[in-house]
Amino acid sequence: MTVLQTVPTTMQAMAVEAAGGDFVLKELPVPAPQPGQVLVRIVASGVNPLDTKIRAGQAAHAQQPLPAVLGLDLAGVVVAVGAGVSNFRPGDKVYGAAGGVGGLQGTLAQYAAVDARLLALKPKNLTMREAAALPLAAITAWEGLVDRACVGQGDKVLVHGGAGGVGHIAVQLARARGADVFTTVAKEQFGIAQRFGAVPIDYQASSVDDYVARHTGGGGFDVVFDTVGGTTLDASFSAARRYGGHVLSILGWGTHKLAPLSFRSATYSGVFTLYPMISGQGREHHGDILREVAKLVEAGRLTPLVDSQRFDLGSALAAHQRVESGAAQGKVVVDVAAG
């Protein structure tokens, strides 16, 4: 094992002991990296809506039994490398969606031993806070738009919720791939949508038929990316292009009538970003995606939107409450250590 510096034997971490409970500060052993893992000193931990659902006991699909240290996203510094790892070395600044589900230790901790396949070098032009805001959202957007829909030049893409965590990344990713992008947002979010290159649609004032007619001549969008779920997924089925349109959703549970999609000869696919972390299969693809995302960030084609409020480990609950309130303007990030 290669080590950057003397690593302490214990660390501070925020654990949740029961569903709906507060965070409890724990003094835990610093894990040793096993073969294929790196030990990361965590500088920042991103907070996703999924993190709050896991804490509330409302995300059985995440398979994270409590008590547990939560937190999916991280940015930090590699301090030790386990056997068999050749693509990272101590001192590397990395980011990734690396824990907090499937029994994996989460990122609300000073250190984590992480499967190296889940990580990539942090974009050079981002701070640790900014980098920690990206992984889960960027991977989710990529798996939908690139892996499943193959979005490309000239496609008309509709993103539902384009000012949200996944949505604002999806808007930028589709734009970077040459698509014309439209997004449903609240009227007060028009500025965010326009900043990232999308044509905003006021979903409260326009029906599906209205905006399909206005922006596609009634033919429908080539790709519809649903980041909201529920009735928005039903609306997506009616907004897809006839004979070849594709609908993606990251919130596909529930009961939905497929007839509107079928009658348009369009297709549907779901995105379950957690699967590689839970199953162990396909983890290297997450690292590959993050490397491609870093290229887009460094080229100035993708920028994370980060909420201005600051939180540390001790105020992790307040960070979760900020996400739950819907008041955050961008991704909420917890500062774990000095960067």
**Angle at Cα 199 formed by Cα 220 and Cα 207, nearest 5°?**
50
Give the residue, 32 or 252, on which the prediction is more confident. 32
Residue 4 has pLDDT above 70, yes or no: no
The residue to which tokens 């529920």 are assigned: 230
When pLDDT is averaged across residues 218-246 and rounded to a whole number, the result is: 95
pLDDT tens digits for range 54-112 = 999 998 899 899 999 999 999 999 999 999 999 999 999 999 999 999 999 999 999 99
- Percentage of the chain beyond pLDDT 90 is 92
Residue 135 has pLDDT above 90, yes or no: yes
Closest CA to 39 of 139, 114, 119, 126: 114
Q: How confident is the model at residue 310 (pLDDT cuts 50, 70, 90)?
A: very high
pLDDT attached to residue 183 = 98
Structure tokens at 330: 């961008």
Q: What is the CATH number of domain 137-270?
A: 3.40.50.720
Fold of 2-134+282-335: Quinone Oxidoreductase; Chain A, domain 1 (3.90.180)
When pLDDT is averaged across residues 2-18 and rounded to a whole number, the result is: 86
pLDDT attached to residue 117 = 98
When pLDDT is averaged across residues 229-238 and rounded to a whole number, the result is: 93
Terminal CA-to-CA distance of the chain, rounded, Å? 24
DSSP state of 331: B
Residue 2 has pLDDT above 90, yes or no: no
Closest CA to 264 of 248, 240, 231, 247: 240
Residue 338 has pLDDT above 80, yes or no: no
Residue type, 129: R
Domains 2-134+282-335 and 137-270 equal at CATH topology level? no
pLDDT attached to residue 339 = 64
Question: Domain segments of the chain: what residues?
Answer: 2-134+282-335, 137-270
DSSP string, 87-121: S--TT-EEEEE--SSTT---SSBSEEEEEGGGEEE
| Coil vs helix vs strand at 79 | strand
pLDDT attached to residue 255 = 85
pLDDT attached to residue 1 = 60
Residue 252 has pLDDT above 90, yes or no: no
- Percentage of the chain beyond pLDDT 70 is 98
